C-alpha cells in the first residue's frame, strides 16, 4: 500500500470548479451531454499541477455518484493519471464528507477545491480549503493563485 504522506491530495469538485455550475451535463437517459463548456476550465488546473507530480486527486464532486472510476479518469483528461479515488461517504455536508475521508485514509497533506456552501463557510477556520465562485471556478485568477500558494506550502512541509 502507498504511503499517503508521500502525496498531496486535492479533493476536487467538478460543477462550479472545472466548469460553471448549472452547465447542462446529463441528458434524459443519464448519459453525459455533448456540451463543449463542460470541463472548460480544466486546463487551468492542469497548468497549476504541472510542476507538482506528487498531487493526487480524490473526486468529491457529486459526479462520483453518477460515473464509475474509469469514466471519472477519462473526464479528468490529461490529469486523469492523478486520480486516487472518490470520497466514499455521502452526506449533505461536503466539508464533513472530505474531513471524514481524509481521516479514514489517514491523509496528512490535503486541499479541497470546491464551490459548495459548506466549504465557503469553513474557509474561515480551515486553510486547506479553496472556495470557488460557482460561475468562475478555477478560471478565476485569485483561486489559481491561492491553489498554487497552498500546494507550495504543503510541498515544503513534505520535504
- pLDDT digit string (tens) for 50-90? 999 999 999 999 999 999 999 999 999 999 999 999 999 88
DSSP 112: E
Domains of the chain, start order:
4-158 (3.40.50.1000)
Nearest Cα to Cα of residue 11 among 88, 74, 78, 70: 88
Is 1 a residue whose pLDDT tops 60? no
Contacts (Cβ under 8 Å, ≥6 apart) of 45: 12, 18, 79, 113, 138, 147
The DSSP secondary structure of 17-30, one letter per residue, reads TTB-TT---B-TTS
Q: Where are the alpha helices (DSSP H) in 10-140?
A: 42-49, 69-75, 94-105, 117-122
Amino acid at each position: 500500500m502507498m504511503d499517503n504522506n508521500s502525496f498531496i491530495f486535492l479533493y476536487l469538485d467538478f460543477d462550479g470548479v472545472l466548469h460553471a455550475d448549472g452547465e447542462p451535463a446529463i441528458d434524459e437517459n443519464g448519459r453525459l451531454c455533448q456540451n463543449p463548456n463542460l470541463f472548460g476550465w480544466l486546463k487551468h488546473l492542469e497548468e497549476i499541477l504541472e510542476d507538482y507530480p506528487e498531487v493526487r486527486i480524490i473526486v468529491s464532486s457529486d459526479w462520483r455518484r453518477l460515473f464509475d472510476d474509469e469514466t471519472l479518469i477519462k473526464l479528468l483528461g490529461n490529469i486523469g493519471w492523478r486520480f486516487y479515488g472518490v470520497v466514499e461517504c455521502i452526506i449533505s455536508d461536503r466539508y464533513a464528507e472530505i474531513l471524514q475521508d481524509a481521516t479514514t485514509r489517514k491523509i496528512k497533506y490535503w486541499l479541497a477545491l470546491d464551490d459548495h456552501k459548506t466549504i465557503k463557510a469553513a474557509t474561515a477556520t480551515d486553510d486547506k480549503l479553496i472556495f470557488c465562485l460557482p460561475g468562475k471556478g478555477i478560471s478565476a485568477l485569485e483561486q489559481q493563485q491561492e491553489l498554487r500558494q497552498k500546494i507550495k506550502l504543503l510541498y515544503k512541509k513534505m520535504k
